[in-house]
């Protein structure tokens, strides 16, 4: 199976190398801001001319929003806009122009309705202090040194890695991988290089192809599996909150930058900001590491994984739980499951957003109209079944996979659910002990296919 995969390594840069990388990232930001200002000026000019009654064919000529069009305009103006342009690689300017072309395309498609999801706003100018420095190389000399401790990038030369690149080097030496691009980015005061690689992955099969596991994510527990396993929530942000507050107060006492007066930050402020940034980066790395380990284990063990389509953006509107929801990383958990199940030959089934997994009895199938968040145990009024609400939801998700038709259209009949759950009873999905759920003998979705979305079935 051929797929795109990223390999990310930390760098140990010398002061001179760090200045050179920052210069390239700054060049990308300059090209982005210049092109955005040019696009906005032309748009404003054409809008003003329309108010004067000028016909469309006589308006100021518009500038192309595509990457080739922006690159052509930049090459014509870079001599007086950036006289130092020869000191940086052309890939640095291409990075900023490509980012703007993508942003303008997303904004245009969002306005016209071609892009689904939340609306995308018009691109904004990148700040020198607030934006994350990054630069992407797609052409030129991009390679990993035979010693596996250095990489070579255009104009930057030989850069030392903080860790060994043996995982990527082995694939390159075997001829099963090809580097497509390399991106330098600063996260938490440390530079990383991420290689986008086209990889030939061997076909795999889960350890238990017929196994189905329902996963109910939450705050009290990070994940509760239908097998009965409970994954504790490490709460990395909450555990580090006191230290972050202390570092934030120390930063506020230093002389920071002021754009209105032109005041530059003091060296003590810069050191305090670096300490705070490293603390936040540590929390992010710990969260990412835990999610990678959990999703890898689930995808390698079970043939079918069932999760819910959570409205994370809506959940974050709850000011009492927003921090804890963001700390759990629900969206990142689902994103990793999507590609890992495909890599391991399994499938990911996503339940409908309004499927009442917590309100449904996993024993008899009765559905409660209301279930308060404070009720941590599910008690069925129909059959007297009592179980932890998260474990009950995980069992319902696992049972939902039995209704998933892999040989048919890829989904089951819609329940027609709205935001209000009505009490009802249904026949529970029953299986013989030791038998696989229905639909597990179908074929694996082809590489590059979309995730299958299913809905709850009405009974």
Active-site amino acid positions: 216, 308, 390
- Asked if 221 and 230 touch (Cβ cutoff 8 Å), the reply is yes
Round to whole Å and give the CA distance between 100 and 25. Answer: 15
Residue in 281, 261, 277 with CA at minimum distance from that of residue 269: 277
Distance in angstroms between the alpha carbons of the first and the last residue of the chain: 40
Contacts for 331 with CB less than 8 Å, ≥ 6 apart:
312
- Asked if 287 and 305 touch (Cβ cutoff 8 Å), the reply is no
- Asked if 97 and 32 touch (Cβ cutoff 8 Å), the reply is yes
Contacts for 424 with CB less than 8 Å, ≥ 6 apart:
366, 367, 459
Round to whole Å and give the CA distance between 327 and 316. Answer: 11
Q: What is the CA radius of gyration of the chain?
A: 26
- Asked if 266 and 308 touch (Cβ cutoff 8 Å), the reply is no
Q: Is 27 exposed, middle or buried (0-12, 13-18, 19+ CB in 10 A)?
A: buried
Q: Are strands 2-12 and 190-200 parallel, antiparallel or unpaired?
A: antiparallel
Residue 181 structure tokens: 């691009």
Residue 32 structure tokens: 């982005």
Round to whole Å and give the CA distance between 242 and 345. Answer: 43
- Asked if 100 and 115 touch (Cβ cutoff 8 Å), the reply is no
Q: Are strands 208-217 and 302-308 parallel, antiparallel or unpaired?
A: parallel
Residue in the structure block whose two tokens are 């249904």? 426
- Asked if 364 and 425 touch (Cβ cutoff 8 Å), the reply is yes
Q: How far is CA 282 from the centre of its chain?
A: 18
- Asked if 297 and 227 touch (Cβ cutoff 8 Å), the reply is no
Q: Is 101 exposed, middle or buried (0-12, 13-18, 19+ CB in 10 A)?
A: buried
Q: Is 141 exposed, middle or buried (0-12, 13-18, 19+ CB in 10 A)?
A: exposed
- Asked if 140 and 91 touch (Cβ cutoff 8 Å), the reply is yes
């Amino acid at each position: 199976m051929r797929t795109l995969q990223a390999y990310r390594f930390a760098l140990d840069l010398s002061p001179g190398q760090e200045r050179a990388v920052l210069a390239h990232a700054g060049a990308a930001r300059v090209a982005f801001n210049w092109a955005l200002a040019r696009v906005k000026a032309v748009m404003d000019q054409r809008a003003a001319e329309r108010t004067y009654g000028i016909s469309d064919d006589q308006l100021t000529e518009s500038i192309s929003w595509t990457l080739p069009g922006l690159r052509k305009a930049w090459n014509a103006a870079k001599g007086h806009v950036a006289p130092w342009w020869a000191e940086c690689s052309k890939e640095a300017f291409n990075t900023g122009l490509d980012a703007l072309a993508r942003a303008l395309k997303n904004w245009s498609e969002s306005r016209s309705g071609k892009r689904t999801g939340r609306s995308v706003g018009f691109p904004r100018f990148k700040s020198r202090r607030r934006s994350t420095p990054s630069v992407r190389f797609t052409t030129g000399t991009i390679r990993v040194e035979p010693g596996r401790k250095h990489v070579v990038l255009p104009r930057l030369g030989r850069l030392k890695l903080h860790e060994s690149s043996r995982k990527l080097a082995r694939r390159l030496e075997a001829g099963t991988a090809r580097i497509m691009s390399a991106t330098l980015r600063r996260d938490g005061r440390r530079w990383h290089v991420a290689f986008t690689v086209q990889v030939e992955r061997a076909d795999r099969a889960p350890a238990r192809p017929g196994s189905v596991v329902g996963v109910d994510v939450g705050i009290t527990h990070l994940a509760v599996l239908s097998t009965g396993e409970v994954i504790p929530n490490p709460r990395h942000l909450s555990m580090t909150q006191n230290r972050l507050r202390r570092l934030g107060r120390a930063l506020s006492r230093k002389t920071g930058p002021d754009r209105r007066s032109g005041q530059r930050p003091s060296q003590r402020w810069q050191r305090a900001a670096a300490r705070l940034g490293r603390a936040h980066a540590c929390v992010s790395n710990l969260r990412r590491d835990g999610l990678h380990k959990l999703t890898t284990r689930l995808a390698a063990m079970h043939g079918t994984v069932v999760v819910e389509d959570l409205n994370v953006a809506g959940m974050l509107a709850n000011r009492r739980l927003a921090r804890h929801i963001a700390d759990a990383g629900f969206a990142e958990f689902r994103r990793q499951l999507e590609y890992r199940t495909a890599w391991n030959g399994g499938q990911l089934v996503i339940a409908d957003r309004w499927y009442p997994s917590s309100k449904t009895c996993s024993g008899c199938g009765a559905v409660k109209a209301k279930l308060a968040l404070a009720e941590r145990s599910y008690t069925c009024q129909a059959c007297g079944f009592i179980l932890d609400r998260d474990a009950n939801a995980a069992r319902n998700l696992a049972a939902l996979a039995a209704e998933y038709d892999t040989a048919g259209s890829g989904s089951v009949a819609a329940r027609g659910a709205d935001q209000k759950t009505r009490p009802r009873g249904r026949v529970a999905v029953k299986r013989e002990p030791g038998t696989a759920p229905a639909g597990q003998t179908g074929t694996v979705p082809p590489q590059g296919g979309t995730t299958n979305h299913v809905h709850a079935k009405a009974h």
